Amino acid sequence: MEQDVQVLYNVFHEPPLGFWIALYFYMTGLSAGSFILSTLSYGFGLKKYKPIGFIGVVLATVLLVLAPLNLIIDLGRPERFWHLFPYLNVRSPVTWGSFLLTIYPINCLIYAYFMRKKNDRMTKIFGLIGIPLAISVHGYTGFILALSKARALWNTAVMPILFLVSAMVSGIALMILVVQIRKLFAPPGARATYDAILVDLGRILAASILADLFLIFSDVLVLFTADTEAREAAIMILSLDFSPLFLGVEVFLGSLVPLAILALPQLNKRPGWLSLAAACVMLGILAMRYIMVIGGQHLPLS
Amino acid sequence: MATRWAMVVDLRRCIGCHACQVACKAEMGTPLGVYRNWVKVVQKGRYPNVSLSFLPSFCNHCENPICVRNCPTQATYRREDGIVMQDPHRCIGCKYCMASCPYDVRFLDPLKGIVQKCTWCHHRLDVGLEPACVNACPTRALIFGDLGDPESEVAQVLARNAVQVLKPEKDTLPHVFYIGADMVAMRTYGGAEAREVEVDWVRWFLAKIGLLRPRAPVRE
Residue B195 has pLDDT above 70, yes or no: no
Q: Which of residues 13-32 of A touch B (CB under 8 A)?
A: 13-14, 16-17
Annotate A248-269 with b (16+ C-beta within 10 A) or e (fewer): ebbbebbbebbbebbeeeebbe
Q: By CA distance, what is A18's nearest residue in B?
A: B95
Q: By CA distance, what is B39's nearest residue in A?
A: A10
Residue B220 has pLDDT above 50, yes or no: no
Query: What was the pLDDT predicted at A150?
Result: 92
Domain range list for chain A: 19-296
CB contact under 8 A, A3 and B45: yes
* Residues of chain A below pLDDT 70: 1-3
Say how many domains are in chain B: 1
* B180 inside domain: yes
Which amino acid appears at position A281 of this protein? V
Residue B194 has pLDDT above 60, yes or no: no
Query: What was the pLDDT predicted at A1?
Result: 44
CATH superfamily of A19-296: Formate dehydrogenase/DMSO reductase domain (1.20.1630.10)
CB contact under 8 A, B70 and A7: no
| Span B16-46, pLDDT tens digits | 999 999 999 999 999 999 999 999 999 888 8
For B68-204, strand residue ranges (E) read 76-78, 84-86, 107-108, 115-116, 142-146, 176-179
Let me know: does A108 contact A60? Beta carbons within 8 Å: yes
Give the ipTM of the model, two decimals please. Answer: 0.89
Distance CA A43, CA A121 (A): 9
Average pLDDT over residues B164-189: 92
Average pLDDT over residues B68-82: 96
Q: Which residues pair with B115 in a beta bridge?
A: B108
Does residue B168 have a cis peptide bond before it, meaning omega lies within 30 degrees of 0? Answer: no
* B197 inside domain: no
Distance CA B166, CA B60 (A): 8
List phi, psi (to 5°) of B46. -130, 150
Annotate B89-108 with b (16+ C-beta within 10 A) or e (fewer): ebbbbbbbbbbbbbbbbbbb
Let me know: does A29 contact A160? Beta carbons within 8 Å: no
* B126 inside domain: yes
**CA angle at B45 for the pair B41 and B49, rounded to the nearest 5°:** 115
Rg (CA), chain B: 20
Query: What was the pLDDT predicted at A141?
Result: 95
* B175 inside domain: yes
* B82 inside domain: yes
Mean pLDDT lowest among A46-55, B106-115, B196-205 = B196-205
In this structure, which long-range contacts are made by residues B209-214, counting pairs with CB atoms below 8 Å and at least 24 apart in sequence? Answer: B211/A221, B211/A224, B211/A225, B213/A231
Residue B121, domain extent? 5-186
Distance CA A102, CA A94 (A): 13
Q: Cβ neighbours of residue A106 under 8 Å, at least 6 residues apart? A: none
Task: Name every chain A residue with its beta carbon within 8 A of the beta carbon of B57.
Answer: 11, 302
CB contact under 8 A, B91 and A76: yes
Q: Cβ of A90 under 8 Å from any chain B Cβ?
A: no
- Percent of the residues in chain A that have a pLDDT greater than 90, as a whole number: 75
* B179 inside domain: yes
Query: What was the pLDDT predicted at A241?
Result: 79
* B54 inside domain: yes
Let me know: does A202 contact A176? Beta carbons within 8 Å: yes
For B31-99, strand residue ranges (E) read 38-46, 49-57, 76-78, 84-86
Let me know: does A74 contact A25? Beta carbons within 8 Å: no
Let me know: does A255 contact A261? Beta carbons within 8 Å: no
In chain B, % helix, strand, coil (3-state, to 5) comes to: 25, 20, 55
Of the candidates B134, B174, B137, the one whose C-alpha atom is nearest the C-alpha of residue B14 is: B137
Q: Cβ neighbours of residue B200 under 8 Å, at least 6 residues apart? A: none
Query: What was the pLDDT predicted at B40?
Result: 95
Let me know: does A295 contact A236? Beta carbons within 8 Å: yes
Q: With cut-offs at 50, 70 and 90, classify the pLDDT of residue B217.
A: very low
- Please state, as a whole number, how many other Cβ atoms lie within 10 Å of the Cβ of residue A116: 11
CB contact under 8 A, B188 and A225: no
| CATH number for the domain that contains residue B91 | 3.30.70.20
| Span A174-216, pLDDT tens digits | 999 999 999 988 888 888 889 889 999 999 999 999 999 999 9
Residue B198 has pLDDT above 70, yes or no: no
